[in-house]
Chain A
Amino acid sequence: MIISDLKVVGQSVQRRDGLGHVTGKTIYIDDIKFPDMLHLKMVRSPAPHARIKSIDFSDAEKVPGFVRALTHQDVPKNIYTILCLIGVGPDEEPVLAADKVLYKGEQIAAIVAETEDAALEAASRVELDLEELPAVYDVEEALQPGAPILKEWGANYFVYEGHHCRRVRFGDVDQGFAEADFIIEGRYQTSPIEHAPTETTGCVAKPEPDGRLTVYTNTQALFFTLDNTALILNIPFNKLHFVGGTVGGGFGGKVDVIVEPIATLAAMKTGRPVKYTFSREEEMRVSSTRGAWRMYYKDGVMKDGRIVARQVTSYADAGAYNRHTPYAVTKHAANVGGPYSIPNVHIDAHCVYTNRQPGSAMRGFGVTPASFAVEVQMDKIAETIGMDPWELRFVNAYHNGDVKPHRKIVEDATLIETMQAAARLTGHSLPEKYLAMTSDPR
């Protein structure tokens, strides 16, 4: 059926929010204020790994405008993990650190004051007595015997259904390697990346006369954040009204649930609106980054270019806490084979904890490092066996109907067509047999 009266497809449509943006009338979180609004600032750990012996608020309390402090004892369900809503567990991140901190900048205590300046001044006067502990910053060192252990369950890795990593087993890699003409190995490392949205993370929580709370937030995950906030505060979901949708840049950096629970708690405790926004320094040094990955590839390849076996061991640096990394590792494990059909695959993908700033979501997280490693590895294979890198990819390209290592049947293969289009656009000439290929089932 051809629809002849399409009004939007194929047209440029002016943005609904565009007039607000070009006139500066769009309201962002930092533009919201109320006459009786309080400001929240965080006391953060100066150490990457330490035991908290005591916290002394006596000097902070003397700052004019100081209203109150909040510690872990004020948080009804202090230990949480964001992805509990999709069954990830156990809970492992404190809203406010109780006895230990696992990264530099971790939230320890909240200061609520009449003005932002007073909150900053009081927060700077809180005395922390910390006993520093040995820290670990490298994913492989964190898995060595004798490494400082970060988690209550006695290990520095997330447990996937009783296993120390996310495992994929497909065919028989040992047999594949035995048959192969070439064994080609590679080690790949990516770095953490800060999203650096122009608007920093923040929210305003406001108690309403009917006992509910309105939370204005720039989260990218409004209802996920509402649900987590209700669970942390041990209140019914319908006590919270979240208002959002206007985000001054996110890119995945605003999907974690960090500022809303504590600001909402402060609003409940004081009965007044509370604003909690990150400074630029907090956005850079404390907010989640794109996680860093280390990946080891071993491929068995035939002289005609067919990859007959692939073994991958990879390590995601979650930093100190889960955030979205356990999920990223699962996505990663489904993608380390790349858009290629390989009959024998063995994948061990680890979600590892270190004393670093937590990593989390950012545009294709988990998959992008896999794609980086896969494609550099493909070029390395082409160079080693003396084959044109385009040809190598056509030879190994997946087709609809193929089964991926994690048992997903391919339904949307487009690699062949994409490479044909790329060759056309860049003026690269391809042999006739590759121009004639399609992604149709073999």
Chain B
Amino acid sequence: MAPKIVSFILNGREIDVMIKPLMTLQKLVRDQLDYTATKTGCKQGGCGSCTVLVNGQPMMSCLLPVEDVAGQKVTTLEGLTPANGLHPIQEAFFEKFAIQCGYCSPGMILMTKALLDRNPNPSRQEIIEALTGNLCRCTGYEPIIEAIEAAAKKLNGKEGVSP
């Protein structure tokens, strides 16, 4: 099949890419564009380590053909990270030790971004439900849940206020 050109917005920047039909977004951002924060835990939609945001919605980029994001806004973790310092969600993950090997962290952080955008004050149960597609094999989920609660407080201007 002949290559084709697809245009979309990646991390706020309009880009045109030449791809083979059915190439995944994961392969494009990592292998062709060198955005390696998007990880490759299973390449079969099972672990969530490749989570990206498409128009703010979390999606597994390993199952997503590039053609499907034509004209849409895609955010990888590189797009969330400010030029200087950290996004409040990243700060919370760092401060609360919600990281061990780090391999699930980019997906977890983007999943959190999507969650807090649609629900700025999620309950513990809502956080747990939002993370069902993202596997962590080392820290356990407890510090991740605590980091998301802390991130919600930071973003709501309530940092340091006990619940």
* A interface residues, Cβ below 8 angstroms from B: 12, 14-15, 17-28, 30-31, 33, 195-200, 247-251, 279-280
Whether A197 and B102, one on each chain, are in contact in the complex, defined by CB atoms closer than 8 angstroms, is: no
Chain B's closest residue to A27 (CB) is B36
Chain B's closest residue to A19 (CB) is B94
Known: A18-B94, A22-B86, A249-B137. A198 touches B99 (CB 8 A): no
Chain B's closest residue to A250 (CB) is B101
Chain B's closest residue to A22 (CB) is B90
Interface residue count on the B side (C-beta < 8 Å): 38
A212, B17: Cα distance in complex, Å: 37
Q: Which of A15, A20, A248 has the most CB of B within 10 A?
A: A248
Known: A15-B99, A23-B81, A279-B43. A198 touches B94 (CB 8 A): no
Interface of A is mostly: loop
Q: Which of B93, B97, B99, B102 has the most CB of A within 10 A?
A: B102
- Min Cβ gap A185→B in Å is 37
Q: Which residues of chain A are near B42, meaning CB under 8 Å?
A: 280
Sample (9) of A-B pairs whose CB atoms are under 8 Å apart: A14-B95, A21-B102, A23-B77, A24-B76, A33-B31, A195-B137, A198-B137, A249-B103, A249-B137
Known: A21-B105, A24-B36, A280-B42. A197 touches B137 (CB 8 A): yes
Whether B102 and A248, one on each chain, are in contact in the complex, defined by CB atoms closer than 8 angstroms, is: yes
- Min Cβ gap A195→B in Å is 8
- Min Cβ gap B54→A in Å is 17
- Min Cβ gap B62→A in Å is 10
Q: Which residues of chain A are near B148, meaning CB under 8 Å?
A: none
* B interface residues, Cβ below 8 angstroms from A: 30-31, 36-44, 46-47, 49, 76-78, 81, 86, 90-91, 93-95, 97, 99-106, 109, 135-138
Whether B39 and A28, one on each chain, are in contact in the complex, defined by CB atoms closer than 8 angstroms, is: yes
Q: Which residues of chain A are near B31, meaning CB under 8 Å?
A: 33
- Min Cβ gap B158→A in Å is 21
Which of A30, A196, A247 is in CB contact (< 8 Å) with B40? A30
- Min Cβ gap A101→B in Å is 26
Whether B109 and A198, one on each chain, are in contact in the complex, defined by CB atoms closer than 8 angstroms, is: no
Q: Which residues of chain A are near B105, meaning CB under 8 Å?
A: 21-22, 24
Q: Which of B31, B100, B101, B105 has the most CB of A within 10 A?
A: B101
Which of B37, B40, B43, B137 is in CB contact (< 8 Å) with A24? B37
Chain B's closest residue to A280 (CB) is B42
Whether B99 and A21, one on each chain, are in contact in the complex, defined by CB atoms closer than 8 angstroms, is: yes
Which of A15, A25, A27 is in CB contact (< 8 Å) with B97? A15
Whether B77 and A24, one on each chain, are in contact in the complex, defined by CB atoms closer than 8 angstroms, is: yes
Known: A21-B102, A199-B101. A249 touches B93 (CB 8 A): no
Whether A280 and B44, one on each chain, are in contact in the complex, defined by CB atoms closer than 8 angstroms, is: yes
The 3 closest A-B pairs by CB, nearest first: A24-B37, A21-B102, A248-B103
- Min Cβ gap B73→A in Å is 18
Q: Which residues of chain B are near A17, meaning CB under 8 Å?
A: 102
Whether A22 and B94, one on each chain, are in contact in the complex, defined by CB atoms closer than 8 angstroms, is: yes
Q: Which residues of chain A are near B109, meaning CB under 8 Å?
A: 22
Known: A22-B93, A23-B77. A198 touches B41 (CB 8 A): yes
A30, B38: Cα distance in complex, Å: 11
Whether A24 and B106, one on each chain, are in contact in the complex, defined by CB atoms closer than 8 angstroms, is: yes
Q: Which residues of chain B are near A195, meaning CB under 8 Å?
A: 137
Whether B104 and A198, one on each chain, are in contact in the complex, defined by CB atoms closer than 8 angstroms, is: yes
A247, B101: Cα distance in complex, Å: 6
A12, B96: Cα distance in complex, Å: 10
